[in-house]
């Protein structure tokens, strides 16, 4: 007699919509992938060499606290290495923050078109996500503060935001923080900070130093090391202590630690990547603006293009795919069906994308 019972997930787990990554071309395809905001210039040569050098030590566990990586980050960013926690991508750290500071009956607040991982990790912790309307695809501080209740424990803020590319100035982030209770954790997710050129932007390190309820989370994925999965967080001592108590003991592998440390110190490569992105982000924005397309001003390494309808956006996606360019549809994952997100790629890719979309724009 068979037992029909089986293990069942905790309540709410099966109600979570899984994360939808950007599409790639079909196996063997020569399509250019512009759907995942990856580096168009590859990785730092110094990081590649450091990653390869780790091959001689694969039988040894990595140093558990990512000390060399934390020290490199501390040197480059002027941060005490003891205030840094590293993770298997920034997603690892975001999950740990949710697990540590959210529970049954709690709420986490985010802007409606914020990073789609936030609802997943909030619900996985048993808490409720509160989506707050934006103003022209930009997080609205007044609306976010109005949504905070006695049950609010975390505010998630991607700055710049994915998938819109918009950002809040340092003054606006500080205004948001000033309006929160001291027991509400403000998580500033700076995944695209390396690409920001706006003069009034701040990564928030000063705010982290001043406050007991702010952390900054970063990633190496957008600066050429997406495959290595490296994230890092800066926070006050009591939060760092709590996260270190539950993170995996070897959650960043040795090749990633070595590559990350080298990449952090390779300032010349990082400036080259930033300059390339700024040039072609600005160029693509100017080229695509038209009666049937609007490019939302971006501070990230992608642009979000708005079309006159979801149908037009779908046709644009298919037309680009047929021409060999895979971009990101963001209807299912972000609720903006009339938009496409296009990563900034090589010069040739940007010229090709613009040609395809402008040709389509001229078609009746």
Domains of the chain: 15-42+268-361 (3.90.1150.10), 45-266 (3.40.640.10)
Q: Taking the model in full, what pTM does it have?
A: 0.93
Residue 115 contacts residue 189 (beta carbons within 8 Å): yes
CA distances from residue 129 to 60, 112, 122, 158 in whole angstroms, order as listed: 41, 10, 6, 15
Phi, psi of 304 (to 5 degrees): -105, 120
CA distances from residue 58 to 54, 180, 253 in whole angstroms, order as listed: 7, 46, 9
Position 361 scores a pLDDT of 59
CA distances from residue 337 to 113, 129, 230, 233, 314 in whole angstroms, order as listed: 12, 21, 31, 32, 8
Quick one: how far is CA 125 from the chain centroid? 20
CA distances from residue 231 to 8, 241, 271, 319 in whole angstroms, order as listed: 31, 17, 20, 35
Position 256 scores a pLDDT of 98
Q: Give the C-alpha separation, 178 to 160, whole Å.
A: 20
Position 24 scores a pLDDT of 62
Q: Give the C-alpha separation, 110 to 144, whole Å.
A: 7
DSSP-assigned letter for residue 304? E
Structure tokens of 55?
Answer: 């091959």
Position 6 scores a pLDDT of 83
Position 57 scores a pLDDT of 94
- What is the DSSP track for 222-269? GGTTGGG--EEEE--HHHHHHHHHHS-TT-S-HHHHHHHHHHHH-HHH
**339-343/328-329 β-pairing:** antiparallel
pLDDT 10s digit of each residue in the chain, 364 long? 456 788 878 888 888 877 777 666 655 557 899 999 999 999 999 999 999 999 999 999 999 999 999 999 999 999 999 999 999 999 999 999 999 999 999 999 999 999 999 999 999 999 999 999 999 999 999 999 999 999 999 999 999 999 999 999 999 999 999 999 999 999 999 999 999 999 999 999 999 999 999 999 999 999 999 999 999 999 999 999 999 999 999 999 999 999 999 999 999 999 999 999 999 999 999 999 987 899 999 999 999 999 999 999 999 999 999 999 999 999 998 999 999 999 999 999 999 999 999 998 565 5
Q: Give the C-alpha separation, 103 to 92, whole Å.
A: 18
């Amino acid at each position: 007699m068979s037992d029909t019972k089986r293990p069942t997930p905790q309540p709410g787990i099966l109600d979570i919509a899984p994360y939808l990554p950007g599409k790639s071309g079909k196996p063997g395809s020569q399509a250019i992938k512009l759907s995942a905001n990856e580096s168009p210039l590859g990785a730092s040569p110094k990081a590649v060499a450091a990653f390869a050098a780790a091959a001689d030590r694969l039988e040894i566990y990595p140093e558990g606290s990512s000390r060399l990586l934390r020290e490199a980050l501390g040197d480059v960013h002027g941060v005490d290495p003891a205030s840094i926690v590293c993770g298997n991508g920034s997603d690892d750290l975001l999950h740990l923050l949710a697990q540590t500071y959210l529970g049954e009956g709690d709420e986490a607040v985010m802007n409606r078109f914020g990073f789609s991982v936030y609802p997943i990790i909030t619900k996985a912790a048993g808490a409720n996500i509160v989506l707050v309307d934006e103003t022209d695809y930009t997080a609205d501080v007044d609306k976010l503060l109005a949504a905070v209740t006695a049950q609010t424990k975390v505010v998630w803020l991607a700055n710049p935001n994915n998938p819109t590319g918009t950002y809040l100035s340092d003054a606006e982030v500080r205004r948001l923080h000033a309006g929160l209770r001291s027991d509400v954790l403000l998580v500033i997710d700076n995944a695209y900070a390396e690409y920001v050129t706006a003069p009034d932007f701040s990564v928030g390190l000063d705010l982290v130093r001043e406050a007991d309820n702010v952390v900054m989370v970063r990633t190496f994925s957008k600066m050429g090391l997406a495959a290595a999965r490296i994230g890092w967080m800066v926070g006050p001592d009591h939060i760092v202590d709590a996260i270190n108590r539950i993170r995996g003991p070897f959650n960043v592998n040795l090749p990633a630690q070595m590559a990350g440390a080298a990449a952090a110190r390779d300032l010349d490569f990082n400036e080259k990547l930033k300059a390339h992105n700024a040039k072609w982000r600005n160029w693509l924005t100017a080229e695509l603006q038209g009666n049937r397309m609007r490019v939302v001003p971006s501070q990230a390494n992608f642009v979000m293009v708005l079309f006159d309808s979801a149908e037009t956006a779908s046709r644009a996606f298919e037309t680009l795919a047929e021409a060999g360019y895979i971009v990101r549809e963001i209807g299912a994952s972000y609720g903006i069906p009339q938009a496409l997100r296009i990563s900034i790629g090589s010069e040739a890719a940007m010229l090709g994308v613009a040609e395809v979309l402008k040709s389509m724009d001229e078609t009746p």
